[in-house]
Structure formats: C-alpha cells, structure tokens
C-alpha cells in the first residue's frame, strides 16, 4: 500500500509498504481522512520509525467482524482497560500502556492501518468525512482541557480569558469556551490571517507578548515557551493557567514577582478520555458551521510534502489528507 514516510530534515516521501498485519483484537481500518497536526513537526524534522498521522478517520474493513463497515475515528492512546486510571474512566492516562498510534506504532498517513478494537470511536452518519477528524485534537483535546478546569472557574460569562495560539486546538478552545458561556475571550497569535479567523469566530485580538492586562483563565495552546512565561505573569490571582501546547525543549520557570506574589492554578491537560466522545459529537453538531471554517484544504497523499510544509509555515489551519476508502 501507499504510505507517507517522514525521513527527517523536513523530507517527506511517498513509499510503498506491506499491507498491515492485523493481530488478534485488532481490525483493519481503511483511511478516509487524516488531519495534519503541528505536533508532527517533531517527526518532520527528526524523522519517524513508523508511519505518522494520529488524527485518523476511516472505515472498518474486517469482513465477518461486528464492526465491519463502521465509520470510526481512532483514539490514539492504546490502553489496558484494567488499571486504576482506566477503571476510573481516564483511558488517556493508562498506567500500563504508553503506546500512541501514529507515534510508536503506525498511524494514518497511509491507505490503511491496524487498530486495536478499544481504540475505535464510532462516527454518526450525519458527521461529514471532512469534519470527523476534528473530533480528536481540535475538539477532544481542547474541550477536555476546559472541562478539567471548569470546577476552578467562577462565572465564566464574567471572566477574562486569553488564548495564546490560534492554531486548531486554540481555535477549538475558543469555540468550546463560547459554547460554555464565555463572553470575553481574547486571542494572541503572530499570524494576521489566523487572528482574522479568530475574530470572525468571536474572539478579541490581544497583542502577542503584551503583559499589562490580567486574565482569569489563560489557555496556552501554542507550545511557545515565551507564551508559557507570559501566561504565568498575566494569569490573575485565583485564576487558572491551562497548559495544553507541546514543546520538547526544556522550560525554565522564572519566578518573577508577578508569578510569585499571587495564588493561581497551573494545570497541564493531555488529550481526552473516551467517555468524552458523545459530548464532543454534540459540541460539533452545535457549532458545525464554525468547525467547517477550520478545514481549509483536503488533498491527495502525493501532495503531502508540499501541504505539510505549508501547514508548518502557518498557511493552513486544519488540512486533511484524503485516503483511498
């Protein structure tokens, strides 16, 4: 089958690989769409031992299986279902498994992949192929982070909110916040076209790096270390600094006076539990038109090299690779 290989040094190749071997407890999924994600930039630069791609939607192709023909997205954390975290419903923080589909086993930048059955999340027929992958990072990761800190927030309608980074997770956070009742949401991003989209969705634009204002909630979705530093300073007393963006570089926290002399919460959030899936579908249905605006390109596999470079340059919001199913 055809698949995408990340060879390092920003080199992407279209290669032919053996058809996936389906082990017991797994099914074959034919890929329809896989969304590009900024976290794959690490693999783009360093290379990947496996086929990347972790925002995957496809069709189960396992004749005789109860789920044959089912439309599904792929829940990337492989989980045991038996540890304390899994039994508590926290499937994304399984204590026994550390495998992530698209990272340390083959993912969705190809025509098909083998998927453990517990990692299949069904997608209703009224959710278009081009929107289904958004149920994962754009909706799932962003909405879970906000649900996690909701008990720490007072009246959200009166709270001052700042989102740093107008990428897919940041924009997904904006839509989720407005759905939760927020009315005063600012967004900071150095790219004018992304700021324009954020403004059209309901955000106020905040100058990048500006630290004179205070915010009750800061959602840091960019992974930029300077944005993390900014968040620690501008989060108000009794406020929440919510850390979602990823960065492999060491982060040194500078305990300046604005950081030290207040009570505040610093919360890290990763992905989402499977139990959020139905709520994420409902959120997509309520704001379908807004999410549709994030998907700005659907392309064929042979175009991956060009399209991934454009995505990493900030020219796209949420492009999707089209599979063959």
Q: HEC profile for the chain?
A: CEEEEEEECCEEEEEECCCCCCCCCEEEEEEEEEECCHHHHHHHHHCCCCCCCCEEEEEECCCCCCCCCCEEEECCECCCCCCHHHHCCCHHHCCCCCCEECCCECCCCECEEEEEHHHEEECCCCCCCCCHHHHCHHHHHHHHHHHHHHHHCCCHHHCCEEEECCCHHHHHHHHHHHHHCCCCEEEECCCHHHHHHHHHHCCEECCCCCCCCCEEEEEECCCCHHHHHHHHHHEEEEEEEEECCCCCCCCCCCCCHHHHCCCEEEEECCCCCHHHHHHHHHHHHHCHHHHHCCCCEEEEHHHHHHHHHHHHCCCCCCEEEECCC
Q: Would you state the pLDDT for residue 154? A: 86
Q: Among 114, 28, 37, 20, which Cα is nearest to 64's?
A: 28
Strand-pair partners of 26: 116
The ranges of the chain with pLDDT < 50 are none
Q: What are phi and psi of 255, to 5 degrees?
A: -85, 70
Tokens of 259: 């950081």
Give pTM, 2 decimals: 0.95
- Are 131 and 292 in contact by the 8 Å Cβ rule? The answer is yes
Q: How far is CA 87 from CA 115, 147, 254, 271, 320, in A?
A: 21, 19, 38, 17, 34
Could you confirm whether domain 140-268 is CATH 3.30.43.10? no
Q: What are phi and psi of 275, to 5 degrees?
A: -65, -15
Contacts of 28 (CB under 8 A, 6+ apart): 20, 22, 60, 61, 62, 112, 113, 114, 115
CA 37 to chain centre: 7
Please count the residues of the chain: 325
Could you tell me where in the chain the CATH 3.40.50.720 domains are found?
140-268
Q: Would you state the pLDDT for residue 146? A: 98
Strand-pair partners of 56: 34
d(CA 122, CA 189): 34
Radius of gyration of the chain (CA): 20
Could you tell me where in the chain the CATH 3.90.180.10 domains are found?
2-130+295-322
CATH second-level architecture of 2-130+295-322? Alpha-Beta Complex (3.90)
């Amino acid at each position: 089958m055809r698949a995408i290989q990340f060879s390092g040094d920003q080199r992407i190749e279209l290669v032919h690989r053996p058809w996936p071997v389906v082990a017991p407890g797994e099914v074959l999924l034919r890929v329809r769409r896989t969304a590009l994600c900024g976290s794959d930039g690490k693999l783009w630069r360093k290379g990947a031992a496996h086929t990347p791609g972790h925002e995957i939607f496809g069709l189960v192709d396992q004749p005789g299986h109860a789920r044959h023909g089912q439309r599904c997205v792929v829940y990337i954390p492989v989980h045991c279902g038996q540890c304390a975290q899994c039994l508590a419903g926290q499937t994304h923080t399984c204590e026994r498994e550390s495998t992530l589909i698209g990272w340390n086993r083959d993912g969705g930048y190809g025509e098909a992949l083998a998927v453990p059955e517990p990692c299949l999340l069904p997608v209703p027929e009224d959710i278009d192929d081009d929107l289904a992958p958004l149920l994962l990072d754009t909706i799932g990761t962003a909405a879970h982070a906000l649900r996690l800190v909701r008990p720490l927030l007072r009246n959200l309608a009166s709270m001052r909110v700042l989102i740093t980074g107008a990428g897919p997770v940041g924009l997904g956070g904006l839509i989720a916040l407005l759905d939760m009742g927020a009315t005063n949401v600012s967004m900071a991003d150095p790219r004018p076209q992304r700021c324009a989209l954020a403004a059209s969705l309901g955000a106020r634009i905040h100058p990048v790096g500006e630290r004179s204002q205070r915010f009750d909630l800061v959602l840091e979705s960019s992974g930029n270390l300077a944005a993390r530093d900014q968040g620690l300073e501008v989060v108000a007393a009794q406020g929440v600094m919510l850390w979602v963006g990823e960065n492999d570089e060491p982060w040194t926290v500078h305990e300046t006076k604005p950081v030290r002399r207040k009570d505040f919460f610093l919360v890290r959030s990763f992905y989402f539990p499977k139990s959020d899936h139905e709520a994420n579908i409902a959120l997509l249905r309520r704001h379908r038109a807004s999410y549709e605006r994030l998907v700005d390109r659907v392309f064929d596999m042979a175009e991956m090299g060009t399209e991934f470079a454009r995505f990493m340059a900030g020219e796209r919001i949420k492009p999707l690779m089209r599979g063959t199913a």
